[in-house]
Structure 1
């Protein structure tokens, strides 16, 4: 069944980007920790959209996809999470994500739709995750927290042919508020590779987390 928030072509495009990077018209931004980042300027917001290509050496793509989707686990390994949960509105599922920003900046929150598909693309198995912000009346804004209304992300993962994962991510959000655009753009340069490094470490620890979780269930 087709997800209402995303088209089949969205998933297929992510698969194509993973196998054949489409960087024409994009500016090379930085390369760090085995990750190459390109960016494209958005004249309306003064911010950049990013494409990320890289290899996660020692974690398998199915594990990466599970970690990416596991909200309870994310609360344990991502120190920027203030609140994170899945909710339902009008018969559809959404994610609410409240992010801690460093003082003196206001915190941000997101309400977004998300979908994971396991794709067969040119004989390869590729895990694709799509996410984008949506307005949901039943999840009102909070005092002192800025609602991010322009957020989109796609991520595709497949085997690197060894013991790791080949990864592609496309990302854009406009955090609004009074943060200087130069600071946001600088943050992306360090934040994206930093997030992938943090996620890679979380993937390594995921089997242990699942064992501990199962043990707690058996004891309860």
Structure 2
């Protein structure tokens, strides 16, 4: 097994074992203690109840049948491109603060709810695992005092996400994701859970479309800079 962070120096929020554990989910899903939640569009979702928050953490397994994993990983990491296809991203940028390289993400919520924002560390590793090349992205909220909360925006400080991608043996990607956040505020739990049930497959569908359009985006970007 080999792995290299795209940010090899300085602060790293994750251990080598975190990346290895995420890789294992591709071939051997760890779902003991998790309950089946829903399945649609080639995606199966499991969930686990968090007694502290009253919310659920989710594991997602599926296949993106016409997008190769390298392109999918590039799209996942490209914040500037995401601004062109993710209508929920009001602000999205990478910055260095308090000795940490972090991402600031301000998410549009529908009226009358306040927007939420996130400050989180994120690292990509390209790894060799069981003879296959695997792309692993780990993200987790970080406390960064120099990026204070904004008026009218609720700071989400309990957030984690994993994304693992490899070939499906054809032309697509085999994918695993793990996701949890606590949006806080007066949002009914049933609404959050409904959003997860409908929003995750919808997001993957939108991202798949974004992957298809990525070569054209890169071509335009190169022509504009030349």
TM-score interval for Structure 1 and Structure 2 normalised by the shorter chain: over 0.9
Tell me if 1:102 matches 2:110. Answer: yes
CA deviation map 1:28-80 (0-9, x unaligned): 00001000000000011110000000000100000010000000000000000
Match 2:47 to one of 28, 32, 39: 39
1:73-93: CA deviation from partner (whole Å, max 9, x where unpaired): 000000000000000013321
Aligned to 1:214: 222
User: Once superposed, what is the RMSD of the aligned Cα atoms?
Assistant: 1.0
State how many pairs are aligned: 218
**Cα distance in 1 between the residues matched to 2:99 and 2:30:** 36
TM-score of the aligned structures, taking structure 2 as reference length: 0.95
2:3 corresponds in structure 1 to none
Q: 2:68 aligns with which of 60, 71, 81?
A: 60
* Counterpart in the other structure of 1:12: 20
Which residue of structure 1 aligns with residue 188 of structure 2?
Answer: 180
Match of 2:93 among 72, 75, 85: 85
| Kept in 1: contact 2:117–2:153 (CA 8 A) | yes
Alignment-derived partner of residue 208 in structure 2: 200
Runs of 5+ unmatched residues, structure 2: 1-7
Q: TM-score w.r.t. structure 1 length?
A: 0.97
> Secondary structure of 2:213's partner?
helix
Give the drift of 1:4. 2.5
Q: 1:129 aligns with which of 127, 133, 137?
A: 137
**Structure 1, residues 164-217: CA drift from partner, whole Å, max 9, x if none?**
000000000000000011100110000111110010000000000000000110
**In 2, Cα distance between equivalents of 1:156 and 1:104:** 35
Runs of 4+ in 1 over 6 A off after TM superposition: none
In 2, Cα distance between the equivalents of 1:154 and 1:160?
A: 18
Match of 2:121 in 1: 113
Question: In the alignment, is residue 168 of structure 1 matched against residue 168 of structure 2?
Answer: no
What SS is found at the alignment partner of 1:52?
strand
CA distance in 2 between partners of 1:158 and 1:4 (Å): 23
